[in-house]
Structure 1
Amino acid sequence: MGYVMSKHALVNRLAEIRSKQPWLVMSAAKNFYLSRSDNPAISHYYSFEANGSNEQAFAIPDGCVDILFDCDSNQPTAEVFGTPMAAIDIELKSHHRYFGVRFAFGIVPDFLRVSAEELVEHHYQFIEVIPESNQVFESIVKQENFTDQVALFKQFYNGQETRQHSSLTAQVVKTISETRGSVRVEELEDLTGFSTRTIQRQFKADLGMSPKAFSRIIRCQSAVYNINHNDQVAFSELACDLGFSDQPHFLREFKKLVNTTPMVYQSRVKEQSYLDRIRYV
């Protein structure tokens, strides 16, 4: 399945994938497979077999909608997950094979029978919120090859639409992403020409959360990316780069959103050879 890249090439490829769920990678029994999407609405596809340990796995805030298929031969399931706002437990069953689809930041596929706000911090059964999805569900969970699963989902998604955001929300998302979440509300007012109240109302209608909450997610993802892909990280400098008032503020925020301290997280990433687990297909 796929091929082995050099570490440098892998890091460059992973930089193209902006959303990270590191606990999923570290929950893999062996390899964690990634496939980049040629559709801008989809960030990437992934596949892994859950390990046999009793350790908890966590989902962290990433601003993305995920569809996760449990491809168990006896009781297959599939769920649609909205982004959490803090680290949450997720139940991965020992040695079950999983296939996932992660949409890009802020993208809500139009085929879902739930609003953007209903998605945030919630998850739903795939066949309950996606009309006429039984056939693609059955096809994907029965298919054992990752590349073929990707092809099946692409075929299903071909011609589907995403929910269109207002130009105001699109501008705010772009600014928050470019500043790695460190932009202030007052700056958004100056940039857009709209009041804070209008920005917040429109943003929540489009994405189901406030600009401040989205900024926290982007800062969390930026911190995780820096720790994942650098051998040494000075947390005081990282806190400053990401616009935190001081290092203690950064440490508290990181622990809430990632479920551990930056130092412990860094040791876990290095101990479990995070990058060595990933195979790009």
Structure 2
Amino acid sequence: MSFQEIIPNEPLSLFIKSILIFENSENSEITKLPFFADGYPGLLFHKTDGGLTVIPHHKEMPDLFIYGQTINPIELEIKGSYSIIVAQLYPFVLKSFYSIDPKSINDNCYIPGDTEEVLSNLRSSGTTDDCIELIKAYLLNNFEKRKDNLDFKIRRALEMIIAGNGTENIGQIAKELDFNIRTFERRFLTETGLSPKQFAKIIQFQTSLQRLTAKDYNKLSDIVYENGFSDQSHFIRVFKAFTGKTPKSYSS
């Protein structure tokens, strides 16, 4: 399998974190790609020989769809060769782009009503690069039409939580953005589908997962304390909640 990550420039970077490409030209029987909570909903397009199914829901997915926050671990089960493009979206855009409650598609997906044209073009497109440009154009069009409705204060809050790897004090962020804490929590949940603390916990988990995956540590306690967990049992508990595995079984 080949993997590529593209970091977009402005104005796309205002609402797209990154574009991920997973490809395999070999006609292998079944591929399983694990996905864990990362804090970002997204748009996914796939070309596959035998379809794409989300496990454990055993749900066969359409060629193009929006997915919400991934909270519980899933696998994408793919039959045959495949090309998958994922545009990771900053989570403050779903409500404005699609007039939906973001929380309603946590661990779920949504089929927008405005994708018929772009889907037809994606299906007939010859190259991955062409598909990426079509997806970027579709999302940019949504942004240009709805940018006045976007809550850029919540985007700033997201930036602050991400920059602090999920360890920033939520009350302090609310204060810096001139919110009282209750208003901030309510507005954040409305725009993203998560509470600020939930989002921060996911970012904290992802930061530790990246360290663990890269084997960028001498002992597990390095990850625990450098990523703001109170102790090793706290880290293991959070890690298992998001992956279904202990850090030891995941890294073995």
TM-score (norm 2): 0.78
- Counterpart residue number, 2:55: none
Please state if 1:72 is matched with 2:48. yes
Q: Distance in 2 between matches of 1:31 and 1:263?
A: 26
**Correspondences of 1:100-139 after superposition (within 5 Å):** 100-109=85-94, 110-125=96-111, 129-131=112-114, 133-139=115-121
Deviations 1:164-195 (A, max 9, x none): 1152x344323322221112344345544543
Please state if 1:221 is matched with 2:206. yes
- Change in CA separation of 1:43 and 1:185 when aligned onto 2, cut-off 3 Å: closer
| Aligned 8 A contact 1:113 1:130 in 2 | no
Higher deviation after alignment, 208-217 or 68-77: 68-77
Deviations 1:13-40 (A, max 9, x none): xxxxxxxxxxxxxxxxx21233332220
Structure 2, unaligned runs of 5 or more: 52-61
Q: Larger % of strand: which?
A: 2
Please state if 1:34 is matched with 2:19. no
Identify the structure with bigger relative contact order (alpha carbons < 8 Å, sequence gap 6+).
Answer: 1
Query: % of aligned pairs identical?
Result: 20
Please state if 1:44 is matched with 2:18. yes
Please state if 1:258 is matched with 2:243. yes
What is the CA distance between 1:148 and its match in structure 2? 1.4
What is the CA distance between 1:57 and its match in structure 2? 3.6
Q: Distance in 2 between matches of 1:248 and 1:70?
A: 39
Q: Distance in 1 between matches of 2:246 and 2:70?
A: 18
Structure 1, unaligned runs of 5 or more: 1-29, 268-281
What is the CA distance between 1:58 and its match in structure 2? 3.0
Q: Distance in 2 between matches of 1:74 and 1:174?
A: 39
TM-score (norm 1): 0.71
Secondary structure in structure 1 of the residue aligned to 2:194: coil
- Counterpart residue number, 1:273: none
Q: Distance in 1 between matches of 2:76 and 2:248?
A: 25
What is the CA distance between 1:111 and its match in structure 2? 3.5
Secondary structure in structure 1 of the residue aligned to 2:23: strand
- Change in CA separation of 1:230 and 1:263 when aligned onto 2, cut-off 3 Å: same
Q: Distance in 1 between matches of 2:249 and 2:25?
A: 22
Q: Distance in 1 between matches of 2:241 and 2:100?
A: 27
Q: Distance in 2 between matches of 1:142 and 1:263?
A: 45
Secondary structure in structure 2 of the residue aligned to 1:69: strand
- Change in CA separation of 1:210 and 1:225 when aligned onto 2, cut-off 3 Å: same
Q: Distance in 1 between matches of 2:29 and 2:80?
A: 9
AA of the residue aligned to 1:137? L
Secondary structure in structure 1 of the residue aligned to 2:142: coil
Q: Distance in 1 between matches of 2:197 and 2:219?
A: 25
Secondary structure in structure 1 of the residue aligned to 2:86: strand
Please state if 1:149 is matched with 2:131. yes
Deviations 1:99-134 (A, max 9, x none): 223234324254324222223222123xxx242x21
